Amino acid sequence: MIALPLFAYAQEVPLAETVAPLKPVITGPMEVEVGKTVVLDASLSVADSRTVRYFWSLNDRLISTTEEAVLTLDKPGRYTLSLRVRDTLDGQVREEVVTENLIVYLRKIVLIAGPTVEKAKIDLHRQSGEEAGVFLEVLHAQDLAIPLGIEDALTKLIAENAQRLRGAETIVLWADGATAMNALSRALRQQEEFRSLLQNQTIILITDRGLQRLARVIRGPFSILEPKQIIITRKEAINHLITAGNTEEFLSTLEKADIDSYVADQATFAIRPWNILGTLVNYMVARGVSSEMIILLLMLPVILMIVTFLKQVVGVTTFGLYTPAVITLSFIALGLKIGLALLLIILVAGYAMRALMAPYRLLYIPKIALILTVTSLILLLVLAAGAALGITLAPDTIFILLIMTTLSEEFMSVKAEMGLRSAIFAVAETVGVSLLSFVIVQLDVLQSLIIAYPELIILTLVANIMMGRWTGLRLSEVVRFREIFKYLEE
């Protein structure tokens, strides 16, 4: 056999098949202020360099036939920018078009919104902004299944889109309480380049809570971002911000429209003897500690005080003090629906495992260890199913979830000593106390007061001391023995 040269086996491939498809690419800013020059580049387009031609069009009007297009527009609005790229390959003419929206604005405002803000409202503000020549750049966090984690989601969103803050005249933060403010400071804390954009600038904080109380909470973020001032106001103020020409005019408009507002500056955050604990909290936030975790820590003494009152004065029976407090924290961290669902799964899994192990006559401690181990594995499967459905938990909430598994041990102990009926009643009372505590600590007024004035936590110590000296009958005992009291009176 005669060996043929290697190239004899190769098939001829047309040149057109070896060249990448034609692809026009526009490089350059798609938002520009009125009167400023913008340079758009097409050099990253994929085409035959020997025969390529470029055709730039603005609102269907040809403006350039070179690789670059230089524009200076003096009227605000949304322009349609098109790049048509044409080349010739093997005698065949190829042509492709890409179209982008070029926004020309008088002023640029960046709106950072939490997941609770409706998209329809944001779209209305964006539309009214375009009519007024204002470009409203929106960073909108997606819906989350759990409340604990909104700040982390906003922090990630801002960090990934920090370059969109460039050129902004005003930053508007619209989320629950100080969540967006804390997220902004955490996202830019290590990014000196973008943090400098906010120095000596005005930040607008939109809230439904008390203005002066919220001003006390944002000392930490203020020290990191160092803005000129922070204007705390209501959501109705956004339309006035769009139409106002500057900050002074905006504040004047708010006063005329009778919209609540509060201006916080450097003088607002002076340290005084009665706000030392608040200063410590703001210091932690400024150093990157999640404000949501601080809220959990501040709310724990309040929850313990409520549970103590219900047990010591009212006479409710629960699985101790620790268990209802942890369940309440889990409801705050996970949300009521998810928290109740996971609690039910933990109890059912624990009871089912005990029933399956009953024939083996295992000792108590190894049996509880097996029950908690299997419950943890079941929770792992539940979390996997939740991830498949788009429901993910923040890392901090996992520890609360694992602590909740100890409720299985309490449930098993009561069942072994007093029977299933008593165990179910004890679980019901424990969950009932947790739900009542959850409703109380979720009140906006209470949360605003505790966060703004964390020194109020000291009052829980006084309340616990007073309840510790309680020597009278519990309310449940008064109801239980009312017939005996009547008899004694007779």
Question: For the segment 390-418, what is each residue's pLDDT rounded down to a tens digit?
Answer: 666 666 566 666 677 767 777 767 766 77
Tally the domains of the chain.
3
- With a CB cutoff of 8 Å and minimum separation 6, the contacts of 6 are none
Domain check: are 248 and 173 in the same one? yes
Look at residue 295 and tell me if it is in a domain: yes
Domain check: are 76 and 132 in the same one? no
Beta sheet of 77-89, edge-to-edge order: 31-33, 92-105, 77-89, 53-58, 61-64
**What is the predicted pLDDT for the residue at 9?**
37
CA–CA gap between residue 363 and residue 317 (Å, rounded): 28
Domain check: are 42 and 131 in the same one? no
CA–CA gap between residue 76 and residue 456 (Å, rounded): 52
Question: Where residue 48 sits, what CATH number does that domain have?
Answer: 2.60.40.10
Domain check: are 113 and 98 in the same one? no
**What is the predicted pLDDT for the residue at 271?**
54
Domain check: are 306 and 338 in the same one? yes
Domain check: are 281 and 161 in the same one? yes
Domain check: are 360 and 335 in the same one? yes
Low-confidence stretches of the chain (pLDDT beneath 70): 1-19, 143-149, 267-276, 278, 286, 288, 390-402, 406, 412, 415-416, 485-486, 488-490
CA–CA gap between residue 461 and residue 452 (Å, rounded): 19
Domain check: are 211 and 307 in the same one? no
**What is the predicted pLDDT for the residue at 18?**
55
Confidence (pTM): 0.70
Domain check: are 226 and 299 in the same one? no
**What is the predicted pLDDT for the residue at 15?**
46
Look at residue 10 and tell me if it is in a domain: no
**What is the predicted pLDDT for the residue at 247?**
83
Look at residue 441 and tell me if it is in a domain: yes
Q: Which of 163, 148, 137, 164 is nearest to 115 (CA)?
A: 148
Asked whether the CA dihedral 367, 368, 373, 374 is positive or negative, the reply is positive
Look at residue 486 and tell me if it is in a domain: no
Look at residue 8 and tell me if it is in a domain: no
**What is the predicted pLDDT for the residue at 148?**
60
Question: Where residue 174 sits, what CATH number does that domain have?
Answer: 3.40.50.10740
Q: What mean pLDDT, rounded, does the chain reach?
A: 82
Domain check: are 144 and 182 in the same one? yes
Where would I find the H helices in 265-363? 276-286, 291-309, 322-334, 336-357
Domain check: are 410 and 308 in the same one? yes
Q: Which domain holds residue 313?
A: 291-478
**What is the predicted pLDDT for the residue at 396?**
58
Look at residue 185 and tell me if it is in a domain: yes
**What is the predicted pLDDT for the residue at 8?**
38
Domain check: are 152 and 241 in the same one? yes
Look at residue 407 and tell me if it is in a domain: yes
Out of 258, 286, 314, pick the residue that ends a domain: 286
**What is the predicted pLDDT for the residue at 3?**
39
Do residues 83 and 97 make contact, with C-beta atoms less than 8 angstroms apart?
Answer: yes
Out of 255, 286, 317, pick the residue that ends a domain: 286
**What is the predicted pLDDT for the residue at 272?**
58
The token duo for 22 is 């034609």
Do residues 158 and 131 make contact, with C-beta atoms less than 8 angstroms apart?
Answer: no
CA–CA gap between residue 54 and residue 66 (Å, rounded): 6
**What is the predicted pLDDT for the residue at 490?**
58
Look at residue 329 and tell me if it is in a domain: yes
Out of 286, 318, 347, pick the residue that ends a domain: 286
